[in-house]
Amino acid sequence: MNRYDYLIVGAGLFGSVFAYKAKQNGKRCLVIDKRSHIGGNIYCENKNGINIHKYGAHIFHTSNKDVWNFVNSFVEFNRYTNSPIANFEGKIYNLPFNMNTFHQMWGVVSPSEAQQKIEEQKKEAIAKMVQEGIEQPRNLEEQALALVGKDIYDKLIKGYTEKQWGRKCSELPAFIIKRLPLRMTYDNNYFNDKYQGIPIGGYNILIEKLLTDVDIRLNCDFFSNRDELTSLADTIVYTGAIDEYYEYRYGKLEYRTITFEEEILDTSNFQGNAVVNYTCSSIPYTRIIEHKHFETFGDDIFKNKQTIISKEYSSEWEEGSEPYYPINDLKNNNLYYKYKQLANNEKNIIFGGRLAEYKYYDMHNIIEKVLDLFENKKFNS
């Protein structure tokens, strides 16, 4: 007889929320992870009293009240509001593109002046597209120029994007840049969502509570013991890479990876903000994260005489490095759909999460998806 209803491969957010909901439904779960800790990419490591976002900065944001209530039922969230700044050749600009940015860029003060300036800037790009008979922007460069014009593209988009993706903006899909809002108010809040914050005490608390009383095996790679692990449960919930599950039979999906260069500094406050993007091409890293600003505010930042920063370097994913951002271009999407066809024909296995679905999901998307699975009984629970 099987000991478990579900073998959950991956103790990230998808696996952990799934385990919690399954447990609520009276199901027995075994969660495994090849890493030495739970939490997947939202895991924090505490060093010198500071929570380090080990796999990249994570800010929780959502407009879904059910999701917000769900996470708050496990841990209280602080008032952190993401307001990254951009450093271009030593000059600071606010993000997302808003009245502060337009003032810093052009000296304009009112929204109508800013609008006029943006229209002037866009005119050239749009005229060029019309002349060449292009109806819709075909790539990120055309999209950006048609959205904000040359000055913002040159100073705040081109360098950052080409470092982040390792490809020319003219070779990248336009949708990447559509995520950046354009605001005619003096509002530096990066997100438009109703709710936002960081769990007080860090993300580990959330994951630990989700996995309370659930059997967990760490340092356990599904593929090193596939048959035995599979035999332990009726159904597998697989949150690892989909191409790996099928032994890369059609080839490997591509990702961007990030290398984090961490430094402990003998100063209380290195850059005055959690996130500073370096948008010029001459600086090799994309951004610097100063972790203490996620959880300490006002004069409290001076209580710890040290600070910890991470410089982020983006590069192409290779075997052995962490797959972070899926490259959803045509070639990779087509490859993913071949794997998805195989997955659609499987029985007793649920593929979910960012690696199994080869899709960039924010944390709230993942929670929404799992809650929806259980609410609408979209699988055999």
- Annotated catalytic residue: which of 287, 336, 339, 358? 287
d(CA 316, CA 335): 18
- Shortest-Cβ-distance residue relative to ligand UDP: 161
3-state secondary structure 146-177: HHHCHHHHHHHHHHHHHHHHCCCHHHCCCHHH
> In the range 295-324, which residues lie near ligand FAD by CB under 6 A?
324
Give the sheet arrangement for strand 4-9, strand by strand: 215-217, 29-32, 4-9, 233-238, 349-351
Q: How far is the CB of 90 from ligand FAD (least distance, A)?
A: 26
Q: Does residue 312 carry a catalytic annotation?
A: yes
Encode 205-215: b = buried (16+ Cβ within 10 Å), e = exposed.
ebbeebbeebe
Per-residue binding string, ligand FAD, 53-92, x by CB under 6 A, is ---xxxxx--------------------------------
Q: Which of 4, 14, 294, 358 binds ligand FAD (CB under 6 A)?
A: 14
Torsions phi, psi of 269, nearest 5?
-145, 105
Q: Does residue 256 carry a catalytic annotation?
A: yes
Give which of ligand FAD, ligand UDP, none residue 121 binds (C-beta under 5 to 8 Å, depending on kind).
none
Q: Which of 4, 7, 8, 9 binds ligand FAD (CB under 6 A)?
A: 9
Contact 123, 154 (CB under 8 A): no
d(CA 283, CA 298): 30
- Annotated catalytic residue: which of 35, 162, 183, 295? 183
Q: Does residue 183 carry a catalytic annotation?
A: yes
Give which of ligand UDP, ligand FAD, none residue 11 binds (C-beta under 5 to 8 Å, depending on kind).
ligand FAD
Q: Is 35 in the site for ligand FAD (CB under 6 A)?
A: yes
Q: How many helices (H) and strands (E) does the chain have?
A: 13, 16
Contacts of residue 112, Cβ cutoff 8 Å, sequence gap at least 6: none
> DSSP state, 254?
P
Give which of ligand UDP, ligand FAD, none residue 223 binds (C-beta under 5 to 8 Å, depending on kind).
ligand FAD
Give which of ligand FAD, ligand UDP, none residue 71 binds (C-beta under 5 to 8 Å, depending on kind).
none
d(CA 72, CA 84): 24
Nearer Cβ to ligand FAD (58/291): 58
**Measuring CA to CA, how many Å separate 9 from each of 36, 43, 237, 326?**
14, 16, 6, 19
Q: How far is the CB of 277 from ligand UDP (least distance, A)?
A: 4
- Annotated catalytic residue: which of 76, 120, 360, 375? 360
CB atoms within 10 A of CB 172: 22
Give which of ligand UDP, ligand FAD, none residue 179 binds (C-beta under 5 to 8 Å, depending on kind).
ligand UDP
Interface residues toward ligand FAD, by CB under 6 A: 9-15, 32-35, 40-42, 56-60, 221-223, 239-240, 258, 324-325, 353-355, 361-364, 366
Report the catalytic residues: 179, 183, 256, 287, 312, 360, 362
